[in-house]
Structures are given as structure tokens and as C-alpha cells.
């Protein structure tokens, strides 16, 4: 899951019609001048149009400067995306601009209102039209060179976080819960927005939010428990555990290790089964268990939800328990996670937040028809920020798995996957300002989440939302404040 294909906000980290903005928080830096290439000129012109915050200006820029296919509706789509980003982040100022090639330009931009940082790249068409053929952007971490040298106090961290969240809530671009903890003790916790807009029900700290792919960490821990018990090995093949897997040749090639690290060659075909109302895992298998691999197992990283569905089936086969029962007995209860589970949505479970997707006209609509009836091993279960803190605490205190197993899970097994870092067994691992950060993000239509654990500093950050607006830039600002003055 992890908002790879359905979530507009997360997909826009590298889509054709992403966006960016401009105005300088550091006030001492002057705007970068327009220089010598068509790509640089177009990038600067885009920033000027974007910073007006006016749909007409942005739409005119898209119409005049983007290469469009005949009959394309991408002018309106691109302009709408730019304006939604402006609503989220405010204006941006170009801080640096470079030309990796004669036909492209890359800029780093900074937002005055939120403090967010952005990287944007454009490529011009390889003809004489000077039109944009490709346009992508992503939020980035604060450059190390600009980090202050003094450590922040807990009160300063709380104040900065609260000011940012208050601004986002006032613009209606954040709805959900957020928690920052130190050594298992919350130092900042807040609920904002609505759990259910139709019933005017406000979000609470104990509201259960859809956590999307954060569930992958839980599934991976379940597998690690069975490995510890000697019932499973990371090098076991799928065929050795699930002999009824239809494509026997594929099942023999894939190992548990490869499923956990997204290097199996499987994809995410099971998404197409959501509206069939399955309440068990086995029926999902038919969507991919007779298909060839997308690439040779073990040769590269490619995010796979089907791989984690298989891990859930493997947990069931080896433990002789239903997957959800296994999680209840061996993870949720030992960790005292009383508000977590793969609830059946048509049974009207109490205190669940409804998700809200962006509409093209700028409004929001319910995500209920995009969801499966219940969550799965790869995601779309429910939890609270407090329960996710309990999960982190249980891991660090070795209530769920041994210290040796946790060390193994948090050991990078892949090359860099991009902005998320490297991948271990169910966890992303990256480093910022000399500080290790372990965790997972998640997303779906009307669902975006981020959980970051700082093993060496003792911090935990959990952000659960029921909007499409990604919490990643919020997490980037928090990691900046938590690590200032570290070196």
C-alpha cells in the first residue's frame, strides 16, 4: 500500500504535475536570478506563477508552457494540484538552481510559512518549443548546513510543533492525531479535525485511524516471532511453507527474506480484489499466485503489497491461527495495544475515523468505497497514536521479540530506496544529521501516516491522518527540531 498508486498527495512526490512554491524563511537570501537555460527560465517562471496563489495564473502557465497530448485534461489537473499544494505549504522561494543537463533544471526551494523544503526538477521537450515535458517535485529534509547548532528544549519542540500544526489545521490541510514521545513518555500529543464530518464528530486522542502500511512493521514482527521459535527461517522458500501456491516455479524462487525486504519480484495485484468483500486472506491469493514475477527474485527493491499478503498467509500456516487472532494474542495483548486491529468495517466498529479524499474541485469525499472490508497483512488496519507508541515501547523493551531479532530487523538489507532510505525486515532505516531513524510511512485514498523511531535518542513520532495531505514534511520538521545541535 503506502500510497504508491492511489494517493494523490503521496504520488505527487514524483509525478508529472507536482508543484512547489516560494518565499524565504531565512530572509537573508535573495531570490535566485533567472539564468541561461530554457529549463531554468521555465522553472523560475513557474515559481512566479505558483506564488500568486491564483488559479488563473497557474492555469495559464500550464497551458502555455507544458507539452500536452491532444485532448489532454492535464492543464486543469496540474493547475489544481499546484493550488492545492499552495494551500498546504504556502509560497516558496528558489534557494539554489542547477542544470544537471542542457534540457533540465533542478531547484531547491524553501517555504516561509511552514519552513518546508522542496526539490523540483523539470525537463524541457527535445524540440524548439521550450515546453516542459516532465515536472516532478518532492519534499526534502532541511539541508544540514542550515541546521542551528543549539539543542532545543522539550518546551521549544512542543511550541514549534504546535505552531506548525495550528497553521495546518487553520488551512484545513491536517486532520488527525500526532504524538511525540521521549523514552515512552509523550511530550506532545494532539488531536485535530474531524473523525466523521457527516456526524460532526471531532477527532480524539483515542480515535482509531487507518494506519495503512504502518501495519507492515507488525506483520514483520509476527514473522520474527515464528523465526525465534524455530518454526520458520528467513531463508525458507514460499514453496516449502505454502505447497499449494499455484505457480510452483515462482514459489520455489522466493524466500521469506525477499518477501520482507520487497525484493521478491511480486507486485500489488491484490488491490483489485478489495470490493469483493473478502474477510479472510486466502481468496486474495488467486489474484497473483499464478502470475510470473515482475523481475528475478532478489535482484532489486520494488515495493510489494502482495509479498506482505503472503507473509500473512505464512503466519497463519505456521502458527495454525487466523492472522488477526495471532496478532491479538502475540502482539496487541502483550504490548497492551487495546485499540488496534483489522476491524470489519460493516460491523460498525466504535470510534473509527473515516477517511477523506481530495476532490478535483478542492473539496473532500469519503474513502469508504476504496477500502477492503477489513485490514490485511500489508496494511489498512486501525490503531491510535498511543497504541503505536506502545508498540515501539514493547519492541525496545523486548516484550515481543529479542534484542537480537530486533537488531536483525533494523539492519538495512537493500540499497537506498529513495527518500525513505533503506529497507530492513518490515522497517525503513535512514539517517539524518548523524541520527538513525527507523519506521514506516503509509497511505491510501484518504489515509496518510508516518511513524518514526529514534533508537539512539529515545524519541518516537507518530502522525495518523484521515486526509490525503502527506504528513512527511511535518515529520521532516520534527526530525530537524529533535536533532538540532547534534553535531
**Residue 294 main-chain phi, psi, to 5 deg:** -75, -25
Predicted local confidence at residue 36, as pLDDT: 74
d(CA 88, CA 111): 11
Residue 206 resides in a domain: yes
Residue 208 resides in a domain: yes
Could you tell me the CATH number of the domain that includes residue 121? 3.10.450.50
Predicted local confidence at residue 128, as pLDDT: 67
Nearest CA-CA partner of 40 in 29, 28, 32: 32
Provide the strand spans (E) within 157-257: 176-182, 185-192, 194-196, 201-202, 209-210
Could you tell me the CATH number of the domain that includes residue 233? 3.40.710.10
Alpha-helix runs per DSSP H in 268-304: 282-285
Strand partners, 124: 132
Mean pLDDT of all residues in the chain?
A: 90
Q: Does residue 301 share a domain with residue 359?
A: no
Q: Does residue 380 share a domain with residue 291?
A: no
- In this predicted model, what pLDDT tens digit does every residue of 225-254 receive, in sequence order? 999 999 999 999 999 999 999 999 999 999
Helix/strand/coil for 445: coil
Q: Does residue 47 share a domain with residue 58?
A: yes
Predicted local confidence at residue 8, as pLDDT: 33
Examine the fold and report which residue of 112, 140, 168 is the final residue of a domain before the chain moves on.
140
Question: pLDDT 10s per residue in the chain (487 long)?
Answer: 643 333 333 333 332 333 323 333 333 333 444 457 889 999 999 999 999 999 999 999 999 999 875 555 578 888 888 988 998 899 999 999 998 888 899 999 999 899 999 999 999 988 767 889 999 999 999 998 888 889 999 999 999 999 999 999 999 999 999 999 999 999 999 999 999 999 999 999 999 999 999 999 999 999 999 999 999 999 999 999 999 999 999 999 999 999 999 999 999 999 999 999 999 999 999 999 999 999 999 999 999 999 999 999 999 999 999 999 999 999 999 999 999 999 999 999 999 999 999 987 778 999 999 999 999 999 999 999 999 999 999 999 999 999 999 999 999 999 998 888 999 999 999 999 999 999 999 999 999 999 999 999 999 999 999 999 999 999 999 999 999 988 6
Counting DSSP H helices and E strands in the chain, the numbers are 15, 17
Q: Do residues 107 and 114 touch, judged by C-beta distance below 8 A?
A: no
Residue 331 resides in a domain: no
Q: Does residue 236 share a domain with residue 107?
A: no
Examine the fold and report which residue of 297, 325, 353 is the final residue of a domain before the chain moves on.
325
d(CA 311, CA 315): 6
Q: Does residue 209 share a domain with residue 357?
A: yes
Q: Does residue 464 share a domain with residue 441?
A: yes
d(CA 217, CA 260): 10
Residue 330 resides in a domain: no
Domain of residue 222, residue span:
217-325
- In this predicted model, what pLDDT tens digit does every residue of 383-401 receive, in sequence order? 999 999 999 999 999 999 9
Nearest CA-CA partner of 340 in 183, 211, 459, 180: 211
Nearest CA-CA partner of 124 in 105, 107, 106, 103: 103
Residue 37 resides in a domain: yes
Burial (0-12, 13-18, 19+ Cβ within 10 Å), 76: middle
Examine the fold and report which residue of 105, 140, 175 is the final residue of a domain before the chain moves on.
140
C-alpha cell at 187: 511530550
Q: Does residue 210 share a domain with residue 244?
A: no
d(CA 332, CA 350): 18
Q: What angle do CA 161, 162, 168 make, to 5 degrees?
A: 95
Residue 146 resides in a domain: no
Q: Does residue 52 share a domain with residue 101?
A: yes
Residue 78 resides in a domain: yes
Q: Does residue 65 share a domain with residue 12?
A: yes
Q: Does residue 200 share a domain with residue 260?
A: no
Question: Which residues, other chains included, contact 360 with Cβ-Cβ below 8 Å and sequence gap of 6+?
Answer: 76, 77, 80
Q: Do residues 67 and 129 touch, judged by C-beta distance below 8 A?
A: yes
C-alpha cell at 470: 502527506
Q: Does residue 114 share a domain with residue 16?
A: yes
**What is the tally of structural domains in the chain?**
3
C-alpha cell at 40: 531554468
Q: Does residue 351 share a domain with residue 477?
A: yes
Residue 145 resides in a domain: no
Amino acid at each position: 500500500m503506502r500510497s504508491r498508486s492511489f494517493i494523490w498527495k503521496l504520488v505527487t512526490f514524483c509525478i508529472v504535475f507536482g508543484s512547489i512554491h516560494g518565499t524565504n524563511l531565512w530572509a537573508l537570501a535573495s531570490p535566485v536570478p533567472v539564468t541561461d537555460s530554457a529549463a531554468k527560465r521555465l522553472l523560475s517562471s513557474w515559481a512566479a506563477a505558483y506564488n500568486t496563489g491564483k488559479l488563473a495564473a497557474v492555469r495559464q502557465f500550464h497551458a502555455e508552457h507544458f507539452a500536452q497530448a491532444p485532448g489532454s485534461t492535464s492543464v486543469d489537473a496540474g493547475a489544481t494540484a499546484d493550488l492545492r499544494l499552495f494551500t498546504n505549504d504556502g509560497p516558496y522561494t528558489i534557494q539554489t538552481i542547477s542544470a544537471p543537463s542542457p534540457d533540465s533544471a533542478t531547484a531547491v526551494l524553501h517555504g516561509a510559512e511552514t519552513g518546508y523544503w522542496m526539490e523540483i526538477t523539470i525537463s524541457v521537450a527535445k524540440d524548439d518549443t521550450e515546453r516542459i515535458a516532465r515536472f516532478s517535485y518532492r519534499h526534502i529534509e532541511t539541508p544540514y548546513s542550515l541546521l542551528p547548532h543549539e539543542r532545543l528544549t522539550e518546551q521549544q519542540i512542543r511550541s514549534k510543533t504546535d505552531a506548525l500544526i495550528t497553521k495546518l489545521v487553520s488551512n484545513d490541510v491536517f486532520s488527525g492525531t500526532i504524538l511525540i514521545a521521549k523514552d515512552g513518555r509523550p511530550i506532545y500529543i494532539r488531536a485535530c479535525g474531524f473523525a466523521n464530518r457527516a456526524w460532526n464528530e471531532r477527532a480524539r486522542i483515542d480515535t482509531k485511524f487507518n494506519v495503512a502500511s504502518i501495519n507492515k512493521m507488525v506483520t514483520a514482527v509476527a514473522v520474527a516471532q515464528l523465526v525465534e521459535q524455530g518454526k520458520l527461517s528467513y531463508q525458507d522458500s514460499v514453496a516449502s511453507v505454502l505447497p499449494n501456491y499455484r505457480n510452483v516455479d515462482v514459489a520455489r524462487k522466493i524466500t521469506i527474506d525477499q518477501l520482507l525486504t520487497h525484493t521478491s519480484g511480486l507486485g500489488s495485484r491484490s488491490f483489485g480484489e478489495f470490493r469483493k468483500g473478502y474477510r479472510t486472506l486466502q481468496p486474495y491469493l488467486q489474484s497473483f499466485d499464478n502470475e510470473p514475477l515482475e523481475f528475478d527474485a532478489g535482484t532489486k527493491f520494488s515495493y510489494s503489497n502482495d509479498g506482505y499478503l503472503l507473509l500473512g498467509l505464512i503466519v497463519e500456516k505456521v502458527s495454525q491461527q487466523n492472522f488477526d487472532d495471532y496478532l491479538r494474542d502475540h502482539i496487541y495483548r502483550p504490548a497492551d495495544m487495546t485499540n488496534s486491529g483489522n476491524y470489519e468495517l460493516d460491523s460498525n466498529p466504535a470510534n473509527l475515523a473515516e477517511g477523506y479524499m481530495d476532490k478535483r474541485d478542492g473539496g473532500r469525499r469519503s474513502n469508504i468505497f476504496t477500502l477492503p472490508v477489513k485490514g490485511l497483512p500489508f496494511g489498512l488496519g486501525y490503531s491510535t497514536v498511543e497504541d503505536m507508541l506502545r508498540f515501539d515501547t514493547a519492541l525496545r523493551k523486548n516484550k515481543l521479540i529479542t534484542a537480537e531479532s530486533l537488531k536483525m530487523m533494523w539492519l538495512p538489507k537493500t540499497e537506498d530506496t529513495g527518500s525513505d532510505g533503506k529497507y530492513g525486515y518490515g522497517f525503513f532505516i535512514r539517517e539524518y544529521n548523524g541520527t538513525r531513524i527507523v519506521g514506516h510511512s503509509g497511505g491510501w485514498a484518504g489515509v496518510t501516516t508516518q511513524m518514526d523511531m529514534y533508537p539512539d535518542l529515545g524519541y518516537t513520532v507518530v502522525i495518523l491522518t484521515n486526509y490525503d495531505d502527506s504528513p512527511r514534511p511535518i515529520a521532516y520538521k520534527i526530525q530537524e527540531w529533535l536533532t538540532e545541535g547534534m553535531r
